[in-house]
Structure 1
Amino acid sequence: MALHEVRFPDDISRGARGGPERRTHIVELASGDEERNASWANSRRRYDVAYGIRRADDLAAVVSFFEARNGRLHGFRFKDWADHKSCLPSQTPAPTDQPIGTGDGTTTAFQLVKRYASGSQTWVRTIIKPVAGSVRIALDGIEQGSGWLVDTTTGVVAFDTAPAAGVAITAGFAFDVPVRFDTDALDVTLDTERLGSITSIPLVEIRR
């Protein structure tokens, strides 16, 4: 169904637990050797936001947010405080952070991506929910203050004029994760008038 362009409350998401998951099928052979196959080409993120609830007001905010999304029906934006920038968490996004394409004189649209590298291996993550006002673009290392627009619902950068052939296109940005609730029921416990808790509030990334 629809993904609502609204972000889960930041003060609650800051205390969430979770991160990326992958699906690997492992078969143990009679010899004791293993055969491993990746069932998913890309990772998917899961979170539990119950850990971020510290006050009864937080609890009320989550219940309201849950009801407005109709439980699992509609998706929304979520800030993953451990991974929400094109750069390291301690740094400020720069227009040269991530390569997103090379000009060919014809193509005007380029998808925002983030690369995760370790050793000789790199995984490229498609970024579809950049934060409005955070995106910076450079051509051959020179920041472009105009001549382009970014769609914050898809992460596609569109240039007024196609970058020339061979021109390196880079971007810096902050971004959200598209998620949905992974439950249709909230198990709320009210201990006193001011305190309350929910055992678990699972979220799962929506992949497209």
Structure 2
Amino acid sequence: MPLIPSFHEIRFPTGIAFRSSGGPERKTEVVTLGSGRETRNQRWADSRRRYDAGYGVRSLVDMNAVIEFFEERRGKLFGFRWRDRTDDGSVPPGSEPGPLDQAIGTGDGVKTVFQLAKTYGSVHAPYVRQIAKPVEGSVRVAVAGTEMAEGIAVAVDPASGLVTFLPGHIPPDGAAITAGFRFDVPVRFDLDQLAIDLSAFEAGAIPSIPLVEILP
């Protein structure tokens, strides 16, 4: 019997994730010239996040929870949600999302679907990151500064991050569309075997449980 879809809309145990390590990774090619000067080339247009959940495993109860989660995901096979406490919203940690936080598009009087996004930086080289896994119920959307009611003016898909304007509420030409939200990172296990050494674990050694972001 086939196992579909390839992504499970479930979050990795939050208590373990809070004590994990990791962050964004980029791939830059650096070529050093004979003069000692260098040239740099960006190989990836988007960053990709990597985490290690092993740092969050502090007990056999935690380890059992990871094993259960790993088995249900079939190792690398199924993706899942991960909360990155250092970067999980349209605003900095400790603040509440508002409908004006992030620009996600400009109306043209015709387009009805817009992708949630978060912009990093504002002056030198802003980076726009697609947000595909918003937290359900956390998204607030505004058109030209006026908040739109979810379910009446807009519909938000928590599995894709797509914002759809409903009939009678299509953004007019030139109107700025903004949004605020909480979000998870889509990830998968980056291994198909959990190598657990109980003697080492009980002596304080931290198991390695690598996770890698699934880019949209």
* TM-score band, normalised by shorter chain: over 0.9
Q: 2:161 aligns with which of 155, 160, 180?
A: 155
Partner SS for 2:103: strand
- Aligned residue in 1 for 2:57: 53
- Helix, strand or coil: the match of 1:63? helix
Cα deviation digits, residues 86-119 of structure 1 (max 9, x gap) = 0011100001100111111000000000000054
Is contact 1:96-1:170 (8 Å) kept?
A: yes
Aligned counterparts of 2:12 and 2:205: Cα–Cα separation in 1 = 17
Q: Are 1:122 and 2:130 an aligned pair?
A: no
Report how far residue 190 of structure 1 moved. Answer: 2.6
Q: Determine if contact 1:59/1:196 at 8 Å carries over to the other structure.
A: no
2:13 maps to what in 1?
9
Counterpart for residue 143 of structure 2: 139
Q: Which residue of structure 2 aligns with residue 171 of structure 1?
A: 179
Unmatched segments (≥5 aa) in structure 1: none
Q: CA deviation at 1:189?
A: 2.8
In the alignment, structure 1 residue 78 sits paired with structure 2 residue 82:
yes
Give the 3-state SS of the residue equivalent to 2:55 in structure 1.
helix
| Distance in 2 between residues matched to 1:175 and 1:195, nearest whole Å | 36
In the aligned structure 2, how far is the partner of 1:39 from the partner of 1:90? 34
The counterpart of 2:209, out of the listed 196, 201, 207, is 201
Matching of residue 189 in structure 1 with residue 197 in structure 2: yes
Matched positions, count: 207
Residue number among 57, 63, 68 corresponding to 1:64 in the alignment: 68
Report runs of 4+ in structure 1 exceeding 4 Å deviation: 194-198
TM-score, normalisation: structure 1 = 0.95
TM-score, normalising length: structure 2: 0.91
Local SS of the residue matching 2:22: strand
Greater per-residue strand proportion? 1
Distance in 1 of aligned mates of 2:199 and 2:154:
53
Identity of aligned residues (%): 53
